[in-house]
Structure 1
C-alpha cells in the first residue's frame, strides 16, 4: 500500500471517528432534550389539572401555539397553564395527538379526566403515590398501551394521584429519522474526507515519489548529474536538499575513486613492467655473468620494494578516508610525539617536537598517520643526518620543517599547489623512492577533520609542510591564545 493511500485512509478514519462521535453526542443530546421537554409539558399540564383547568385536555398540542381552543382556555387556569402554553409557543408540540389524563384514588379507583380515550395502566408505584397524604411527589415512565408507547407522569396531589400521558411514538420516529440523517452525514463526511485526503496526500507525496524514482535510478546506474528540485522550506524540501548533497558527494566520491584507480594503475604499470622484463631475463640467468646476475637481483629487489611501498601507501590512502573509526579527544602534541618516536626508530634521524597541548575532536589513527607521513617526507628530502627535523604544534595546527631543497615551482609555476595531489612527484623527487601518495594522505586526513594543508619554504632553506584541523574541532583546553597566529610555513619553520 502506497504512502498516499495510507494517508487518505488515515484522513477518512479520523473524519469517520469525529463524525461518529459528534453524531452520537448530538443524538443523545436531542433525545434528552425532547424527553426533558415532554416531561416539563406533562408537569405543566398536571399543575393545570390540579387547579381544575381540564381545558388543556380538549385541544391537540398543535393548537397550543396558536392560543386557540382549549389552549386559550388554559391561559385562564393560572401561571402553570401559561407556562405550558409558552412551551407550546415554540412550536415543539406539532404532534396533533391529545393528552390523556386520569385520577387514581387512594383505593386504586381510576377516574378519567378527559383527552384521548386511552386507559393508562396503573402500577404499584402509581398506587403508592395516590396513597400519600402530602402531594408533590411524582414519577415518570414509558409504557405500552396497545400498539402505542406513552410517556406517563404520575403526581401525588394529596389522597389521590393525577396521571397525564402522551403518545411518544412520533417523537421516537423523529429521533430514528435523526439517527439515519446523522449516519448518512457521517458517511458523506467520511467519503469527502477520503477524497480530500487522497488529493492532499497526492500533493504531499508528489515530491516524495520524485525522490523515490531518483534514488531508484541512482541505485541502478549511479549518481551521474541528477538533481531534485527543492520546493518550499518544509521537511520534504530539506530532504530534497539533503538528497542533492548526497548525490553530489556520491558523484565526487565516484570520480575520486576512478581517478585513484587510474592513477594507481598507471603507477603500478612501471614496476610491474620492470619485474616482467627481469623475469624474462631470469629464464637465461645461467648465461649471465656474475656481475649481471648481481645487478639483476638488485633490480628485482628494488622494484619489489617499490611495489610493496606503493601498495602500502595505497592501503594507507584508503584507510585515511575511513569514517568508521570513532571520533575521540586527541591531543595533537601527543600524536606528534608518538609519530616522531616511530620515525626516529625507522630513520635514525633527530626529530624535535615543540608546542603546547592541543586537544581536538578527531580520529587518532588518521591524525597520527598524517603526522608520520609528514615526517617521512621530511626525512626523505633532507638526507643529511646532521640536520634536525622540527615539529611544531600550535592550536590545532601541525607543521614539520626540514632543511632539504624546499618547494620549488616547476615550469608551470604550480608546484606548491600540486604537491598534495595523488602520485604527484616533483622533478627533484623522481630519483627518490616513493609513489607520491604520502602528502595526498595528509590532505585527506585534514579534509576529514574540516581542516586545510599548507606548504612553503623556510627562511634559511628547507620546507615547512603541515596541516590544521577545523576550528570547530578544537576542544576547550586548546591554546586559543594562538588562534590569531595560525602557523604557516614561515612562522613554524624556525631558523
Structure 2
C-alpha cells in the first residue's frame, strides 16, 4: 500500500472514530437526560400517591409520559388520551395488585416486587421496563414499609424509544456523512502531502538508474517535506558539480599523463638499442628516464591529493595559523634548504589542520621553486593577518594575464613551463580555501616577485 493510501486511510479511520465517539456521547447524554426526567416524575407521583392515596387518579395525570414528539398518524387522538396516561397500582403483601389510577394495565409483579411489598424498607424502589400487550412501560415500584405493600407507577415509553431511535438514525447518518467528507478531505490532504515526496522518489529513481538528474520540479517550503526537497536539490546540484569536476579531472589527468608516458615509451624504444649508444648518450637517456619517472610519480601523488582534498573526512577544530605556517616552513626548509620568514598574528580559525598545512606548504614550495630559478638567496616571506595568508617570493613574478589562471588544474605559465611540477599545487590551495569559505589571489610583489595566497572566511575566525 502506498504512503498516500495509508495517509488517506488513516484520516478516514480517525474521522470514523471521532464521529462514532461524538455520536455515541450525544445519544447517551440525550437518553440519560430524558429517562432521568421520566424517573423524576415517577418518583414525584409515587410520593404524592403514598401520602394521599385517595388522590392517586389525579396524581396519575400529572406524570410526564416522555417527549411529546410522536409523529403524525401514530400520535394518539383525543379519545385515546387515557391509553397514554400513567398507570398507578397498589401491590399488597401477597403480591396481588389493584388499580389506583390511569389505564387498566396489568403491570407484572415479580418476586422482587413481592419482596418489596412484604418486607421492603420505606422508600426502597426498583425501576424496570416491561412490555404489556405489546406496549413498553417504564415502571417504578416503591415499598411503603411496615408490611403495607408497595406502589407501582408506570408510563408508556414507546414514544420515547421512537424519538431516541430517530435520533440514533440521524446521528448515524450524520456520522456517515462526516466519514465521507473526512475521507475525501483526507485523500486531498494525503495527495498534497505526498506530492512532493512522490517527486522526490521519482528523482531519486532517476539518479539510481541514470546516475544523474536535474531535480527540476522539486518544491521548497518551510515544513519538513519542503526542507527535504531543498536539501535534495542542493545535494543534486553538488553531485552535478562533483561529477563535472571529476570528468574534468580525468580528462586533464589523461592529457597530462600522456606526455611523460609518450616520453617513456620513446626512451624504451631507444633502450632496445642501448648497445649501439655511446656512454654519454646512455647516461643522458637514463637521466631522462629517471627524471620522467620521478615527474610521473609526483604527478600521480598530486592527482591523488587533489582527488581526496575535498572528500577527506577530517574533523574541524580550532587551528592557530601561525603554528601551521611554522610547521610548513620547517618542512620546506628540510626539502629545499630555503629559509622562510614568518610575520603572523595570533589568529585562530575553525578549520581542518592538515588541509591548511598542505595549502601553506604548496604555496611555500611553489615560491621556493621560482626563487631557485632566479638564484635568489633572500628568505621567502609568509604574512598572516586575520585569516589572510600571503606568500611572497622574489622570482620572475606573475603576469596579469596569468594571475586568474594559475589556480586552474595543470595550468602552467610560460615562466614555469621549464620548471619541475605538475601544475596541481595551486589547484589544491584553491580547494582548501573554498572548503574554508575563502578565496585565492595572485599578484606581483612590490620590488619584484609574486604574492600568492588565500583567505579563510571571517565567520571562522575564533580569535
Residue matched to 1:366: 355
Unaligned runs of 5+ in 2: 77-82
Give 3-state SS (helix, strand or coil) of 1:407's partner: coil
> Is the contact between residue 320 and residue 347 of structure 2 (CA under 8 Å) also seen in structure 1?
yes
User: What pairs up with 1:22-421 in 2 under 5 angstroms?
Assistant: 22-50=22-50, 51=52, 52-55=54-57, 71=61, 81=62, 84=63, 91=68, 97-105=84-92, 110-114=97-101, 115-121=103-109, 123-124=111-112, 127-128=115-116, 137-144=123-130, 150-156=137-143, 160=148, 161-168=150-157, 171-172=160-161, 174-176=163-165, 178-223=167-212, 225-228=214-217, 230=219, 234-383=223-372, 384=375, 386-409=377-400, 414-421=401-408
Measured at CA, do residues 471 and 344 of structure 1 come closer, stay the same or move farther in structure 2, by a change above 3 Å? same
Measure how far apart 1:99 and its partner are: 2.2
Structure 2 CA distance for aligned equivalents of residues 315 and 206 of structure 1: 43
Give 3-state SS (helix, strand or coil) of 2:239's partner: helix
> Structure 1 stretch 124-133 or stretch 201-210: which is displaced more?
124-133
Structure 2 CA distance for aligned equivalents of residues 176 and 428 of structure 1: 102
Measure how far apart 1:143 and its partner are: 4.9
RMSD over aligned Cα, in angstroms? Answer: 2.8
> Is the contact between residue 69 and residue 159 of structure 2 (CA under 8 Å) also seen in structure 1?
no
> Is the contact between residue 65 and residue 157 of structure 2 (CA under 8 Å) also seen in structure 1?
no
Structure 2 CA distance for aligned equivalents of residues 118 and 373 of structure 1: 114
| 1:454 and 2:436 are equivalent in the alignment | no
* 1:238-279 Cα deviation digits (max 9, x unpaired): 444433333322222222111111111111110000001011
Measure how far apart 1:130 and its partner are: 7.0
Measured at CA, do residues 355 and 232 of structure 1 come closer, stay the same or move farther in structure 2, by a change above 3 Å? closer
> Is the contact between residue 67 and residue 160 of structure 2 (CA under 8 Å) also seen in structure 1?
no
What TM-score does the superposition give when structure 1 sets the normalisation length?
A: 0.81
Structure 1 CA distance for aligned equivalents of residues 23 and 239 of structure 2: 56
Structure 1 CA distance for aligned equivalents of residues 130 and 214 of structure 2: 83
Structure 1 CA distance for aligned equivalents of residues 322 and 131 of structure 2: 103
Measure how far apart 1:342 and its partner are: 1.4
| 1:11 and 2:11 are equivalent in the alignment | yes
> Is the contact between residue 382 and residue 392 of structure 2 (CA under 8 Å) also seen in structure 1?
yes
Structure 1 CA distance for aligned equivalents of residues 346 and 114 of structure 2: 100
Measure how far apart 1:29 and its partner are: 1.2
Give 3-state SS (helix, strand or coil) of 1:53's partner: helix
Measured at CA, do residues 104 and 224 of structure 1 come closer, stay the same or move farther in structure 2, by a change above 3 Å? closer
Measure how far apart 1:350 and its partner are: 0.9
Unaligned runs of 5+ in 1: 59-70, 72-80, 479-495
